[in-house]
Structure 1
Amino acid sequence: MTDLVRLLIVDDHPVVRDGLRGMFTGDPGFEVLGEAADGAEALALAEALRPDVVLMDLRMPGMDGVTAIGRLAASGSPVKVLVLTTYDTDADVLPAIEAGATGYLLKDAPREELIRAVRAAARGESVLSPSVAGRLMGRLRTPRTPAEEPLSQRELEVLTLVARGSSNREAAARLFISEATVKTHLLHVYAKLGVNDRAAAVAAAYDRGLLTPGGR
């Protein structure tokens, strides 16, 4: 018998939550523990209910999905997060995966694919929709030059704190992410700016106008 997978559904659209609840409630292999309409509510319910998998939308009012994923990861929670969204751009996919999402699926996925993906996520396996997998592979095969690739919002936030003298641990605490995630963001910053250390990254960012005295 297949192990029961306990779910938390997070989406700001009630009709989407209702549809997902109906789909999984009708399958004896799943138990829907609760629903949340934004990231903050998701964090509270994840702590209280201890689901196996969180189905997480990304773009929600209040706390967005990426922030919630990062905070779950930083808290040490063992819950697996499967992103379920309509967006598959680099600006959506990469931050979600870097924040700690186990998988990334689009809302137009067939029912059977979604069910398989949730079971795989519960086992800790990475699950990517074909379009997302193709986008990531394309990025790896044709990396942009540093001058062509802008820093992400989170990378700018990390670099701003570094420029103000924060350590990796302090930056992690301020941004509610893990220290390892801060290090990963800094490595991406170094690669994009063509530098090898924190001081050079800050200097390059000021030189390019990414950071300004008294602000960013």
Structure 2
Amino acid sequence: MINLVLADDHRLMQDGLKSRLEMEDNLNILACVGTGIDALDSTLKLKPDVLLLDINMPSLNGIEVLEKLAQSRSETAVIMLSMHDSRDYVMRSVKAGAKGYVLKDVGSEELVMAINQVAQGRSYLCPQASDRLLEQINEKPETKDDTLSKRESDVLKAIANGACNKEIADSLHISVRTVETHRLRIKKKLGATSTAALVKLALQKGLVT
């Protein structure tokens, strides 16, 4: 017998899930709750095998409940029930310790399958959640371009020589606003947060002597 706690703040959804899951001979609903605090308290007190947990909950959201359960070393397996299939929600749920992620528009048979799988120590992601997770894993990191243009190199050399924006503008025959823009772009490309750090990085990279 798999003991469950069901946490959803929509009473109609809660009642529908309860009625459907009670049709399964091996599933037993210990409690139905409508807030994150109640979900946390009921899980710690009743120690169910599986917690079905909505993400959007009052008092504590589903992710916060997950994090607190992890801190308390709860052995209850958590399946996130959500209307959201965004990468952010899926990744945050998995990182917080969810063993399953199921969208609310899946068929009841799939939810029952997910419950049985996580109760046996495995994980379950519905196809949409699995796709979002794979997208995140396979996403190529943004390459950092620290190549300076000819004009940016000129501005950097002037900065390294101690020239102020007005002096740089006059020597390169450009406006002070343009110098400020170049300075910001150079800092971003080199990852510098101050002029001193900018000059130091420029020297290390051999951009100025």
TM-score, L = length of structure 2 = 0.67
SS in 2 for 1:84: strand
Is the Cα contact below 8 Å between 1:38 and 1:65 reproduced in 2? Answer: no
Is the Cα contact below 8 Å between 1:121 and 1:127 reproduced in 2? Answer: yes
Structure 1 position 96 matched with structure 2 position 71: no
Which residue of the partner structure matches residue 46 of structure 1?
43
Which residue of the partner structure matches residue 81 of structure 2?
84
Is the Cα contact below 8 Å between 2:55 and 2:62 reproduced in 1? Answer: yes
Structure 1 residue 93: Cα displacement? 1.0
Structure 1 residue 59: Cα displacement? 1.0
Q: Which residue identity does 1:34 align to in structure 2?
A: A
User: Map of 1:1-216 to 2, 5 A cutoff?
Assistant: 4-145=1-142, 207=193
Is the Cα contact below 8 Å between 1:82 and 1:102 reproduced in 2? Answer: yes
Is the Cα contact below 8 Å between 2:48 and 2:76 reproduced in 1? Answer: yes
Aligned partners of 2:74, 2:135: CA distance in 1, in Å? Answer: 31
Structure 1 residue 139: Cα displacement? 1.7
Unaligned 5+ segments in structure 2 are: 145-190, 195-209
Aligned partners of 2:28, 2:34: CA distance in 1, in Å? Answer: 18
Is the Cα contact below 8 Å between 2:35 and 2:58 reproduced in 1? Answer: yes
Is the Cα contact below 8 Å between 2:90 and 2:132 reproduced in 1? Answer: no
Q: Which residue identity does 2:128 align to in structure 1?
A: S
Across the two proteins, how many residue pairs are aligned to each other? 148
Aligned partners of 2:68, 2:140: CA distance in 1, in Å? Answer: 29
Q: Which residue identity does 2:65 align to in structure 1?
A: A
Aligned partners of 2:42, 2:57: CA distance in 1, in Å? Answer: 16
Aligned partners of 1:146, 1:96: CA distance in 2, in Å? Answer: 27
**Identical-residue share of aligned pairs (%):** 32
Aligned partners of 2:66, 2:20: CA distance in 1, in Å? Answer: 24
Is the Cα contact below 8 Å between 2:87 and 2:136 reproduced in 1? Answer: no
Structure 1 residue 145: Cα displacement? 2.0
SS in 2 for 1:143: coil
Aligned partners of 2:118, 2:143: CA distance in 1, in Å? Answer: 33
Structure 1 residue 207: Cα displacement? 4.3
| Deviations 1:2-22 (CA, angstroms, capped at 9, x unpaired) | xx1100000110011101110
Is the Cα contact below 8 Å between 2:77 and 2:99 reproduced in 1? Answer: yes
Q: Name which one, 1 or 2, has greater alpha-carbon Rg.
A: 2
Aligned partners of 2:193, 2:76: CA distance in 1, in Å? Answer: 42
Structure 1 residue 134: Cα displacement? 1.0
